[in-house]
Amino acid sequence: MELGTAARAAHSDDLELWIAAQAQRSIAAMEPAISATGLARRRENFNQNIVPSAGSVLASTTIGDWNPEPDYFFHWLRDSAIVMRTVVGLMQDATSPADHMRWQTHFENFVQFSLGLIGSARYNPNYRTNTSPDFHKFLRDESELRALSGDELLGEPRFNPDGTIDIMRWARPQYDGPALRALACLDFLAAGGRRSDALDELLTIDLDFTRRHAGESCIGPWEEKSARHYYVALVQLGALVHGRRLTGTAAVDAEQKLYAQLERHWSKTHNVFSAAVPPESADDTDDMLDASFLLGVLDANLPVGPHSIDDPRVHATQKAIEDMFARELPINRTRFAGCAPALGRYRADKYFGGGAWFPTTLAAAALYYRRANRADGDRAALIKRGDEFMATIRSLTPIDGVLPEQIDRETGQATSARHLTWSDAAFVSAARSRRLFNI
Q: Which residues of 75-103 are buried (b: 16+ CB within 10 A; e: fewer)?
A: bbbbbbbbbbbbbbbbbbeeeeeeebeeb
Q: Does some domain include residue 94?
A: yes
CA atoms within 13 A on the CB side of 385: 19
Stated pTM of the model: 0.96
Which among 413, 400, 361, 292 has a CA at the least distance from the CA of 21? 400
Q: For position 120, what pLDDT does the model report?
A: 84
pLDDT mean across residues, the chain: 95
* 106 within domain boundaries: yes
> What does the pLDDT look like over 237-247, one tens digit per residue?
999 999 999 98
Q: How confident is the model over 220-272, as pLDDT tens digits? A: 999 999 999 999 999 999 999 999 999 888 899 999 999 999 999 999 999 99
Find residue 48's DSSP bridge partners.
43
Q: How far apart are CA 22 and CA 29, in angstroms?
A: 10
Q: What is the predicted pLDDT for the residue at 119?
A: 85
**For 185-212, what is the mean pLDDT?**
98
Which ranges constitute the DSSP H helices of 341-416? 358-372, 379-396
Q: What is the mean pLDDT of residues 13-27?
A: 96
pLDDT, tens digit, 9 for 90 and up, residues 296-343: 999 999 999 999 999 999 999 999 999 999 999 999 999 999 999 999
CA distances from 225 to 37, 207, 219, 275 (A): 34, 24, 5, 12
Residue 278 counted as domain residue = no
**Please, what is the angle between helix 77-93 and helix 5-30, to 10°?**
110
Is there a domain that residue 218 lies in?
A: no
Structural domain includes residue 412: no
Q: Report the CATH number at residue 80.
A: 1.50.10.10
In a domain, 342, yes or no: no
127 Cβ contact list (under 8 Å, min separation 6)? 46, 139, 167
Structural domains of the chain, count: 1
pLDDT score at 10: 41
In a domain, 308, yes or no: no
Range of the domain at 178: 34-213
Q: Which carries the bigger pLDDT value, residue 437 or residue 37?
A: 37
| Domain presence at residue 343 | no
